Amino acid sequence: MNKGRAGSPAIKIAIVAFIALGIVAFQYFDLKQYFSLDYIKASQERFRALYASHRLMVLAAYMAIYIAVTALSLPGAAVLTLAGGALFGLAVGTVVVSLASTIGATLACGVARFLLRDRVQNKFGTKLAAVNQGIEKEGAFYLFSLRLVPVFPFFVINLLMGLTRLRLITFFWVSQIGMLPGTVVYVNAGTALAKIDSLSGILSPRVVISFALLGIFPIAVKKVLAFYQRRFRLRAETSSADITKGPNPLPGRPRGQ
C-alpha cells in the first residue's frame, strides 16, 4: 500500500514530464508545419504512393500520430482528419480516424483525471457536487451533445470530463458515436483535398446548426419522456389512493371496523 502511494506522485511526475517533453519537441522542431493544410496537399501524392506499397505500416503510423496529437491536445487533428480522407478514402478513413480520435481523447481524459481530479474535487468538492450528480444521471447524453456541436474545442471537453466521475468506458463509446458525424464530414471533405482552401469552409453554419440540434434532440426526448413518466406515475398513485379509500359502507363507523 505504501509503495503504491509513494509511486503515485512519481508516476504523475513522469506523465507530466512526458507531456511537457512532447509539447516542447512539437514547438522546438516546428512540427506544426507538417500539420498544415498546404503541406498535406503538397505531399498528397507521395503519401498515396507510400500507402500503396506499405499499407499496414502507414495505417499504424497514421493512427499513432493521430492518437499522440489528440492525447497531448496538440493542434492538427482537423488537418489529420482531412489527410485520412485523402489517403484512405471515405470508408477506411472514417474507421481509422474515428478509432484514433476516440482513443486519443480517452487517453487525454484519463490523464486529466489521474493528474487533476482529486485536487480539483478536494478544493471545489461542494461546488462540483451538483455537476457530479448531473454527470452521473445524464453524463452520456450531456457528453453526446457536446461532441456533436463542433463549436466546442474537443480538448476542453476531454479535460472537463476528466474532472468528473463519468466512467472512461462511457466516455469512450459516447465519444465514438458523438464524434462520428463530424468525422464523416471532415473525412469526406478530405477525399477532395485539392479543392479545399481553408478549414473554416468545411463546416457551414447550416451544418453546425444541424449538429447542435442533433445533440440537443436526445436530451429533449429524455426530458419529455421523464415528464410523461412522472405524470403517469402520479395518476397511478392517485387512482390507487382513491381505490384504497373507497366509499364507507357503514356511515358513522370508522373504516376497517
pLDDT digits (tens, 9 = 90+) for 168-193: 999 999 999 989 988 998 999 999 98
Is the entire prediction scored with pTM above 0.75?
A: yes
- Are 221 and 199 within 8 A, CB to CB? no
233/242 Cα distance (integer angstroms):
14
Q: What cell was used for 79?
A: 488537418
| Model confidence pLDDT, tens digit, residues 8-55 | 788 999 999 999 999 999 999 999 899 999 999 999 999 999 999 999
**What was the pLDDT predicted at 53?**
96
**What was the pLDDT predicted at 6?**
44
115/211 Cα distance (integer angstroms):
32
Q: Which helix (H) or strand (E) holds 90?
A: helix 90-112
**What was the pLDDT predicted at 165?**
82
**What was the pLDDT predicted at 104?**
97
**What was the pLDDT predicted at 9?**
87
44/190 Cα distance (integer angstroms):
11
Q: Which helix (H) or strand (E) holds 63?
A: helix 55-71
Residues of the chain short of pLDDT 50, as ranges, are 1-6
The number of CA neighbours under 13 Å toward the Cβ of 113 is 16
**What was the pLDDT predicted at 130?**
65
**What was the pLDDT predicted at 249?**
55
110/53 Cα distance (integer angstroms):
36
